[in-house]
Structure formats: C-alpha cells, structure tokens
C-alpha cells in the first residue's frame, strides 16, 4: 500500500509529501508529478515518482494499486475543465480499488465561481462509490503574504472585500490536515470544513503589516469590477482575474469564515496566526 499525492511539486502537494516523510517510510509514498525534474529532491529521499498529467488519462493507467490512500490535489488550470481533469484521477482510483481518496475542495459556504469546479468534483467523487474524504480548504495566508512587494511599494492593501472577514490558515496547516487523514483511521466518508482559528479583515491585515514594518500601510477598498481590472492589468488572464475578484465579493458576504474548528482538531494544534505568517514573509 502506498500513500499517493497528486500535484506533488505544487505548493500544497510538496508540503504534504515533506510532512509525510516525517511520519512514514519514503518507499510508501508516491509523488505524482508532470515534470519529474522538479521532484528530483524527493526522489533522492526515496520517494517513488510517478509521471502523470490530469489532461492525459492514459498516464494514470496502472498508477494506483488496491489499498492505496490517495490525495487528489485540485488542479489550477481553470480553463481546461478541472472537473473532467479530476474525474481522470477518480476513475483510475476506482478501477484500482483504492482504500481512500481525499480531495482538496473549497468551503461549503463559498458561493463564488471558484467553488463550482469543486462542487462538480465532489459530486463525481461521491457518485464513484469510493471511500472519500472531503478536505474543504479555506483560503491560504500565502495568498496575501507571498507577494507583499506591491503592497509595501504603494503603502496600501487593495481589495474588493469591504469589511468582510475570512478564516485563512497557512498552507502547512492544510497540509498537516491532509497528512492526518492519509495516515490516520476513521476518516472514510467524512467532510471537513477547514479554516484558521481566528477570522480577520483587511483593515486588521493592514494594521498588522504597519506594526511589523514601522510603515503606514492602509486598506483601500475598491469595487469588484475595479479589482478585476487591477488583476488583469497585473497580467492575470481575464478568466482568472474574474474568479479571484469574485472571491473578494464572497469574502465581503462572510462566505470564507470557517468556524468549525476542524483544522486545529485534525492537526492537534492551533492554526498558524496571520501575524506569524506576515512576519515570516517579511523575513524571507
């Protein structure tokens, strides 16, 4: 039996593999990647590397084995039909008779267009008859802390979320939840709503960033349409800009506040505070 992680060289998938290596032998881990060169370090640590692509169903033939536990990390190619991409993995897992297929989804409260593919994938997974776990991941701290340069350059956080709040957590927190499911027992046919322990708003983010930098950072609220234009002007494809701007509209409505406590319960520890993520980002 292997623990198989798709998208294993992506931000989340790599963290999952690295945390798995702390708990299980490397030869029990299979990292599914599109570009094996990006996984050379994992291979060097004894992880099995499997090359497959969501867009090429035949590459998943024979990849899984009966009894495997699989983490399907959702794809990020919004323009290539993500539900069909995910079905490729689900179909291969069903054919092999895997013991569990866990999927990184979106909070059940989220109504933005971003959630549509996740709901479609959840429906396909439930219809497959496979033992499943839905990891409904909330937003990541890193969505805002990984690219602080423009914020610091302009002295402002620009968003279209109004006074809305969100329960974000660090990618490493969500990775730890996935590892808990993949290595633990009793998670079959469960749905976990995952988010940070403390909700926050962008005015608080700006205030914390001001404290950490000693500079005056403000929060500038714009309309969803203006924000979409800003994102497109920064080089994002128009469909992606529209999706991300739509998430801000959902944040304003409170759709990314996740107060279930599932994330800290699964990991056995409090989630990473936003202030800690900001400090780490500024030190990089």
pLDDT tens for 169-180 read 999 999 999 999
The pLDDT value recorded for residue 81 is 86
Rounded CA separation 263/241 (Å): 28
pLDDT above 90 covers a percentage of the chain that reads 96
Mean pLDDT rounded to a whole number for the chain:
96
Cα(180)–Cα(222) distance, rounded to whole angstroms?
39
Residue (of 244, 214, 255, 2) closest to 110 by Cα position? 255
Say which residue the tokens 């708003």 belong to. Answer: 201
pLDDT at residue number 233: 94
What's the alpha-carbon Rg for the chain, to the nearest Å? Answer: 19
- Between CA 255 and CA 252 the distance in angstroms is 8
Give the tokens for residue 85.
Answer: 């991409």
pLDDT of residue 76: 82
Whether pLDDT at 1 is above 90: no
Task: Specify the DSSP class assigned to residue 39.
Answer: G
Nearest C-alpha neighbor of 254 from the set 193, 166, 140: 166
Distance between the two ends of the chain, CA-based, in angstroms? 38
Q: How many residues does the chain have?
A: 284
Q: CA-to-CA distance for 239 and 245, rounded, in angstroms?
A: 10
Nearest-angstrom CA–CA distance, 246 and 227? 10
């Amino acid at each position: 039996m292997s623990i198989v992680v798709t998208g294993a060289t992506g931000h989340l998938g790599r963290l999952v593999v690295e945390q798995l290596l702390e708990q299980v032998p490397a030869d029990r881990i299979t990292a599914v990647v599109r570009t094996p060169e990006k996984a050379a370090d994992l291979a060097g640590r004894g992880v099995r590397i499997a090359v497959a692509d969501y867009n090429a169903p035949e590459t998943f033939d024979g990849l899984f084995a009966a009894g495997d536990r699989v983490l399907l990390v959702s794809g990020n190619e919004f323009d290539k039909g993500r539900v069909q991409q995910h079905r490729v993995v689900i179909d291969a897992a069903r054919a092999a008779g895997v013991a569990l297929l866990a999927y990184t989804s979106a909070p059940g409260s989220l109504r933005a267009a971003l959630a549509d593919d996740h709901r479609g994938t959840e429906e396909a997974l439930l219809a497959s008859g496979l033992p499943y776990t839905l990891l409904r991941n909330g937003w990541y701290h890193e969505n805002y802390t990984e690219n602080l340069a423009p914020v610091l350059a302009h002295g402002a956080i620009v968003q279209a979320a109004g006074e809305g709040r969100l329960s974000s957590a660090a990618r490493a927190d969500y990775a730890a939840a996935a590892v808990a499911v993949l290595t633990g027992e009793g998670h079959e046919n469960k749905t976990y709503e995952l988010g940070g322990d403390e909700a926050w708003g962008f005015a608080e983010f700006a205030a914390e960033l001001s404290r950490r930098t000693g500079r005056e950072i403000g929060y500038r609220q714009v309309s969803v349409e203006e924000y979409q234009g800003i994102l497109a002007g920064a080089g994002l494809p128009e469909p992606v800009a529209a999706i991300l701007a739509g998430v801000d509209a959902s944040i304003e409505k409170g759709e990314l506040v996740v107060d279930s406590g599932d994330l800290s319960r699964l990991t056995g520890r409090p989630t990473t505070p936003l202030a800690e993520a900001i400090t780490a980002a500024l030190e990089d």
